[in-house]
Structures are given as structure tokens and as C-alpha cells.
């Protein structure tokens, strides 16, 4: 069967990951605090802290490693500037990540669903681990690549590279299926449909 769609070249891929802090009562609402983007080779294209738009009520430091000093105006960039830069970087790219709906949501940057490769949703990974649910990134990395990640606080560069490594481990199979007009991944949660165009 001939391919319906062309297979993207490596320079068309970027991997993104965000770290979030909590705002609002009890810190239950997530707001982007750090954004990292890496290219197909894992080289950092962007890695920046983001100035909060609202009062941060929970820095989630034990998980994120983020402290108030990281988000001060001396160390962080304005949200609107970061949002525009990320939108420009991702335009016309295939975006790789882990639970991308969370990243796209906190960034307020929608992206075409067909131009995403979310390793949390990739069916062959779930099948290999005999799960119908989203599997944690550390579990995916350990069980499929025998590599440990997220052993201390989260690092968005490490997360972006880990998602990219998982994708690259199956890139040929993944892209071949897509080129034939089929989709090898589950769909993201309906509540995040606004994140995809």
C-alpha cells in the first residue's frame, strides 16, 4: 500500500515540556513556570522560567525544584513573550512530548493534533506494558529503555529529552503507520480538545 502522507524529516521535530506551579486557593490551579524545548538531537532550543501572571500559592518545590527566586523578574521572562516564542518555534513542526495536553494547555498554545507525537498516548507502549491507562514517564523510560529519569526534582529539559528518546525508539514504526493514514495513539482527554487544532 503506497504512503498517503510523507514522513517528516528530523529537523521538523521539537520536543516540549513544562513545569508548573500552583495558583489560586490551595494552589490547585496549574500555571506554567518553566518551559523547555529541545530539537531532534536533544539540543536545547529554549529553556526559560516564566514570570507568574498570578500570585503563586504553591511552588511545588519538592516536586519541581522551583523556588520564588526562579520566577523573579531578574530570572524569568514575561508569559506573553514566552508564549509567543513557543508558538513561533512550534509552528509547522511536529511536537513530541509526554501528556502534551498539559503543556499546550498551560502555554495557551494550540497545535494541530496530527502534528503531535505524545508518548503517553502511543498504543504500542501501552501494549508492551499491558496497560490501558497513561503510564508515568519514569516507568516508560525504565521499562522500555532501562534508563532512570525524574529521580530528584523534575527537570523539564530531562523530560523533553526522555519523551524524544522514547519517540525516536519507535519513530520509524510510528511514522510508517501515520504515512498509511492510520493513527497509532489514543486521543487526549476531551476536556483538552481546545489545545488541538
- Residue 174: predicted pLDDT: 94
CB within 8 A of 57, min separation 6: which ones? 22, 23, 24, 25, 26, 27
Tell me which DSSP letter residue 111 carries.
Answer: B
Residues 104, 82: Cα–Cα separation, whole Å = 13
SS3 of residue 55 by DSSP: coil
Residues 179, 56: Cα–Cα separation, whole Å = 44
Residues 16, 109: Cα–Cα separation, whole Å = 12
Handedness of CA 105, 111, 117, 121 (dihedral sign): positive
φ, ψ (nearest 5 deg) of residue 99: 50, 55
- Residue 149: predicted pLDDT: 87
Residues 87, 96: Cα–Cα separation, whole Å = 14
Residues 94, 112: Cα–Cα separation, whole Å = 9
pLDDT in tens, the chain (197 residues): 566 777 899 999 999 999 999 999 999 999 999 999 999 999 999 999 999 999 999 999 999 999 999 998 788 999 999 999 999 999 999 999 999 999 999 999 999 999 999 999 999 999 999 998 999 999 999 999 888 888 888 999 999 999 999 999 999 999 999 999 999 999 999 999 999 98
Residues 150, 161: Cα–Cα separation, whole Å = 12
Strand partners, 117: 96
Residues 89, 45: Cα–Cα separation, whole Å = 9
Per the CB < 8 A criterion, the answer to whether 98 and 119 are in contact is yes
Amino acid at each position: 500500500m503506497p504512503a498517503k502522507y510523507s514522513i517528516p524529516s528530523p529537523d521538523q521535530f521539537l520536543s516540549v515540556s513544562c513545569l508548573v506551579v500552583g495558583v489560586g486557593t490551595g494552589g490547585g490551579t496549574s500555571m506554567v513556570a518553566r518551559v523547555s524545548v529541545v530539537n531532534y538531537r536533544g539540543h536545547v532550543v529554549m529553556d526559560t522560567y516564566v514570570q507568574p501572571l498570578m500570585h503563586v500559592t504553591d511552588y511545588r518545590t519538592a516536586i519541581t525544584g522551583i523556588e520564588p527566586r526562579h520566577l523573579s523578574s531578574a530570572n524569568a521572562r514575561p508569559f506573553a513573550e514566552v508564549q509567543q516564542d513557543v508558538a513561533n518555534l512550534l509552528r509547522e513542526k511536529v511536537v513530541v512530548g509526554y501528556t502534551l495536553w498539559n503543556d499546550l494547555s498551560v502555554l495557551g498554545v494550540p497545535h494541530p493534533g496530527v502534528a503531535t507525537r505524545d508518548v503517553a498516548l502511543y498504543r504500542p507502549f501501552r501494549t508492551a506494558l499491558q496497560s490501558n491507562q497513561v503510564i508515568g514517564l519514569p516507568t516508560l523510560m525504565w521499562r522500555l529503555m532501562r534508563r532512570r529519569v525524574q529521580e530528584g526534582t523534575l527537570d523539564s529539559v530531562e523530560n523533553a529529552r526522555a519523551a524524544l528518546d522514547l519517540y525516536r525508539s519507535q519513530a520509524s514504526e510510528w511514522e510508517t503507520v501515520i504515512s498509511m493514514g492510520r493513527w497509532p495513539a489514543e486521543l487526549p482527554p476531551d476536556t483538552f480538545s481546545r489545545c488541538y487544532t
